Structure 1
Amino acid sequence: MLDALHVVNALPDVADGQTNLMDIAELYAEGVICEIARWNEILPVGDDELEIRINNVLYGSRIPFSKPLSAHTWPYRFSIPEDKIGEHGLKSLRYEVFTSSGTTDGPALPTSVTIDRRDANAGLRPGAVTLPGWVGHYVTLQDVDDNGGSLTFQVPRRLDPQVGDKLEIFTKFPSDTPILTLENLPRTTAPIQVSLTTAQLAADGGG
């Protein structure tokens, strides 16, 4: 049995998360970088041919490997470009080796890689946050203190929640610095309750 193909540049797996998730910037810059371990040399003569498949569809042409196999660099590394890996979703990568006599070694067990091209709202513009009823055109720190010491509001649901999602709250625009970041949100489509304390709002200033 052939060793399964290894995806080199995927993000580290997290519990219950997406398998071999590709960072989109890395995907566009480097593609999906894969490695294949040296397989057994069944015949000492004639080329072996490597066949790679994406979702059981042949990717490119067969790649010849002359003998002896030890003369090649192992593991064999190659990259599948962003425009060849396909659209959003889970991909199954596998390979098979053919000898000059036509016999086959494999196919290898499939390796999954996740191409997630959608943001947490599936590419749609999310709705506005829902502020509490006591909030008017102006909010003073006294107003916040009078209502439990925090400004609690609701962020609309995510349509495509995934393990590891985070939420950043901004009070100024434009800005690269959130006033609050919530990490590792639960994988649910329910709205999210967020609270900003009097101290956080005071430190953020007026405006």
Structure 2
Amino acid sequence: MNVKDAKASFEGALKHERNRLSLRCLSIILRQESGNRKRNEATALLLNSVEMAREAVAQDIKDGTSWMVLGNAYLCQFFTVAQDPATLKLCMSAYKQAWLDPIARGQPDLYYNKGIALKYEEIYNEALQNFDHACRLDPLWEPPQLERTKLANYLKDTNELVRTRGKLKTKRLTQLVQVIRIFG
């Protein structure tokens, strides 16, 4: 858990040889470090993390773990740098490539992180399926269980509000619609 020493070790290894394991690990460490920094420093670390992950993928395009790390780097970039839909598409593309590798396909965090991305793309059914799959792969891991429950409750509540028209009386609903038309 000594991030500083781990970072120094992987940077030292990369000075001797550029290898995908060191690149992946350094990408992960840079994302961890970004959480403790100011916004502009965090952005630089995250963009560097993406570059490290891209280089790891370039070294072996069939390595699903490298694709998964790249997808996670894009996901962090989406949440921290800018919520650009293109970044989320790159993230989903990387997860799709990761899924092609049987080793990566067995990792619960692939499904959890993909579920998070799908939730923000508002593809709720697939997000729930991915959270379910992550739970099956690691039944004791709580984050996918919590996300699945939160999303299911959100969808249930939203459905109820649509069904009951937000529990508004017809007269009040008509007034709101008129205001929307005026300003819309």
For the criterion TM > 0.5, the same-fold answer is: no
Structure showing greater Rg: 1
Which structure is higher in helix share?
2
Which structure is higher in strand share?
1
Category of TM-score, reference length = shorter chain:
under 0.3
Determine which structure has greater relative contact order: mean sequence separation of CA pairs < 8 Å that are 6+ residues apart, divided by chain length: 1
